[in-house]
Amino acid sequence: MKIIYILLSTVYLCKAQINMAFCDEYIEYDVNNFGKFISNVKLSNSTDAILAEKRVLIIDDNLNVLSSMSIPKTQTHNCEWIFNYNNDTFFVGCQKNGEAPYLIAYKSINKTHYAQFGEALNTLLYLPKQLELQAY
């Protein structure tokens, strides 16, 4: 009788653990293509932007990659900040060894794709060296 009680208790505790799990799905991303993930920002109720070492990924609620964009000058600068201005625009902030940081702006083309924008596609917004970008 004690064995059945212990067995039923064990089964009950195992089922309780399964119901409390935070994640029931495992998704792998190609680290060689994207690099390590650095930061993320919510763009809308259904999409997020993830800043990785080599690219910015736009993902949906199910963690599917909807699109990705390369980041200019990733060989010489560390891009460590990502923040949004509104649902249609987000910025990536980059800096190299204490030099003046710069921002790269991306604007929505449609709900799943973004493109770098500005006066010219290769124009970057350089900030004064004294200005420090802080992540909150």
Residue 73: predicted pLDDT? 62
- Tell me, what's the pLDDT at 136? 40
CB 90 within 8 A of CB 114: yes
**What is residue 66's predicted lDDT score, i.e. its pLDDT?**
92
- Report the pLDDT value the prediction gives residue 87, as an integer from 0 to 100: 75
pLDDT of 135 reads 46
pLDDT string in tens for the chain (136-residue length) = 677 767 677 766 666 665 555 566 677 888 888 888 889 999 888 889 999 988 899 999 888 899 998 887 656 778 888 888 787 888 888 887 777 778 888 888 888 888 888 654 444 555 555 545 444 4
Which two structure tokens, joined as six digits, stand for 14? 């195992």
Q: What is the DSSP string of the chain?
A: -HHHHHHHHHHHHHHHHHHT-S--------HHHH-SEEEEEE-SSSEEEEEESSEEEEEETT--EEEEEE-TTTTTSEEEEEEEEETTEEEEEEESTTS--EEEEEEESSSS-EEE-SSSTT--EE--TT------
Quote the pLDDT of residue 99.
76
Q: What is the pLDDT of residue 63?
A: 87
* Token output for 57: 């990924």
